[in-house]
Structure 1
């Protein structure tokens, strides 16, 4: 594996849009007892369903700790590549490499520092060393050159790109005390431009209410194509989300992207009723000392914005709510060329995230090795 000392932007690389054609998807098989109730039985069924839907139009790599590799192989079809790799939890979007590309189609990874969304200040679990190693380990195994971001803390879900020089972030996340407290907003923005090849960073004020990631942008706002995005929304002025989304809307209505375009904004409703953790779900969790613990009735950060765009479809979270069908309809309008796949996502939400949080795209370009499980490997071009 080639470790790079330069910056992606200086080398002609940038972060692509998630709606662009891509090579495949990374996921991590769930097991952490403090995230997934009752030995992750329900969560694994949902992970498996999502992986199989994505595999209809692109390769899927499922990373697994050694003690759950057999479980993954039993529950997944042969279309899914199961790869043994250590992790602390199953949030591939946040711990896998952030990939960048150049005009020639080369792909490189970025290894940010990961500290469980806040380190000793407000991190969600006390030990995150295995998660912090995943980006470099993945690049090493699959042959991607990797940029090491040093001590700069960032998660994949904290940034969203239009592929044309515009990147969305939230102030609540990137300026949180547990990430890069020694850096100013301007210094953080400069780092993002250097590593993501961005010309413009748009700072939304807030994300989704009660989002444990300090309000990642990928749960509140996402590009569906250059110049167009979806924004989590509620008309209920008594919902704490109302003022948060309204502030973001007002900013976006005044902003332009890196190419000077005003945005087409699709309002994507949050669930009608707050989604809250139940006593039954809580009874299936086992927290380790120092891990953030949940409480009965705690509101979860349910959002339809946390969808996954595959090459052939869009996997849309569902919560058994009156706005489920609205989310499917609106995203169908945003992606008329793709098939919409509604998936009941409560069993992921209980773990602290949503569909987009458990996936990470691999952009197109180059070759990677696909293990056959028998010691040999085939090179696969996607």
Structure 2
């Protein structure tokens, strides 16, 4: 395998489609029918928004496939939304973490192909594993007829932010953690990230274990806009908590760091909505995730979270317009249940690159 390399493309590279999922009736929301219905509606609204830009495939468990097919048959959009059946009844919505991470495999000569990395999803360190989700990556790759690449570490797609130019952002708390990779050193984990993603430089942000259900994924904290430019979620808390400290540490580290090409970073901060919107917190003891940088880039557009905070929603749209200019159409989508369940727009999607 020494003559084989992998390359994770940036999210702004051309995409074939977006993968999403409906929650299963026997999944983690089985005892919360109202929340299950709200989550289903929000991911369906997101799918309809994304279908203005490119095709969407919604992975649905056996018991809900007919319901999903009937629902999406009524959606009018420029691109198709396809309900894809998967074995099992305990699917979850967080496809960024459950689905494979797609990379380009470079072989001898001009041999190149799209493959999927299976990072051994274990329910975010054993918090919420289900029989369907822990095998979903393997099943999806089989159905898509895409080669599965085994890896030696446990992590999730939301823990990995690549610029497509050799630089990776990660939080230490979400990967160098005994609940994912017991006994493995940071260097051992970094070596596997370098191997599987084609990375030249990894920038580690401390994060905080146990801060939320993901142990502080990078995709709610810092995102590449393009090489050398980072959108950073600015904490907005009346009484600072560990989350404010995580943001301050990230700002300090990124302000003095350079990327794989030696470029310093331009950092644009986007303040979170007011915390009063999410009184009562998230799911269980987890905090709600209220981050505007948990957006999704699609072909010619950006699906931007809207939280129902008029001032902060408008400020986030203005900041996004300044960051992306006229190159992308901004499409805001209101989310309320997904943040309470521990994620957002980016967390509930996974792009399949257009290849070749």
Question: Structure 2-normalised TM-score?
Answer: 0.88
**What secondary structure, in the 3-state scheme, does the structure 2 residue paired with 1:18 have?**
coil
Q: 1:49 matched to which residue of 2?
A: 45
Structure 2 Cα separation of the partners of residues 209 and 66 of structure 1? 33
String of CA shifts for 1:264-301, please: whole Å, max 9, x gaps.
1110111222543559xx9xxxxxxxxxx616xx6412
Q: Does residue 219 of structure 1 match 2:220? A: yes
Alpha-carbon offset, residue 53 of structure 1: 1.5
Q: Which moved more, 1:204-213 or 1:254-263?
A: 204-213
Q: 1:331 matched to which residue of 2?
A: 320
Q: 2:103 matched to which residue of 1?
A: 100
Q: 1:34 aligns with which of 14, 29, 36?
A: 29
String of CA shifts for 1:201-260, please: whole Å, max 9, x gaps.
000122799421000001100101111111111376842233221111110011111111
Q: Residues 231 and 274 from structure 1, CA distance in 2 versus in 1: closer, same or farther, beyond 3 angstroms?
A: farther
Structure 1 Cα separation of the partners of residues 8 and 331 of structure 2? 26
Structure 1 Cα separation of the partners of residues 300 and 35 of structure 2? 32
Structure 2 Cα separation of the partners of residues 89 and 56 of structure 1? 24
Q: Does residue 64 of structure 1 match 2:60? A: yes
Q: Is the Cα–Cα contact under 8 Å of residues 114 and 155 in structure 1 kept in the other structure?
A: yes
Q: 1:116 aligns with which of 123, 131, 134?
A: 123
Q: 1:242 aligns with which of 218, 241, 244?
A: 244
String of CA shifts for 1:60-117, please: whole Å, max 9, x gaps.
1110001111221222137111110135312100011101125766211111111111
Question: Structure 1-normalised TM-score?
Answer: 0.82
**What secondary structure, in the 3-state scheme, does the structure 2 residue paired with 1:362 have?**
strand
Structure 2 counterparts to residues 143-292 of structure 1, below 5 A: 143-150=145-152, 152-206=153-207, 210-234=211-235, 238-240=239-241, 241-276=243-278, 278=280
Q: 2:18 matched to which residue of 1?
A: 25
Q: 1:313 matched to which residue of 2?
A: 301
Alpha-carbon offset, residue 40 of structure 1: 2.2
Q: 1:377 matched to which residue of 2?
A: none
Alpha-carbon offset, residue 331 of structure 1: 1.4
Taking only aligned residues, the RMSD between alpha carbons, in angstroms, comes to 2.4
Q: Which moved more, 1:223-232 or 1:343-352?
A: 343-352
Structure 1 runs of 4+ off > 4 angstroms? 102-105
Q: Residues 317 and 254 from structure 1, CA distance in 2 versus in 1: closer, same or farther, beyond 3 angstroms?
A: same
Q: Does residue 344 of structure 1 match 2:334? A: yes
**What secondary structure, in the 3-state scheme, does the structure 1 residue paired with 2:92 have?**
coil
Q: 2:7 matched to which residue of 1?
A: 14
Structure 2 Cα separation of the partners of residues 202 and 237 of structure 1? 29
Structure 2 Cα separation of the partners of residues 24 and 61 of structure 1? 7
Structure 2: where are the runs of 5+ without partners?
none
How many residue pairs match? The answer is 339
Q: Is the Cα–Cα contact under 8 Å of residues 276 and 299 in structure 1 kept in the other structure?
A: no
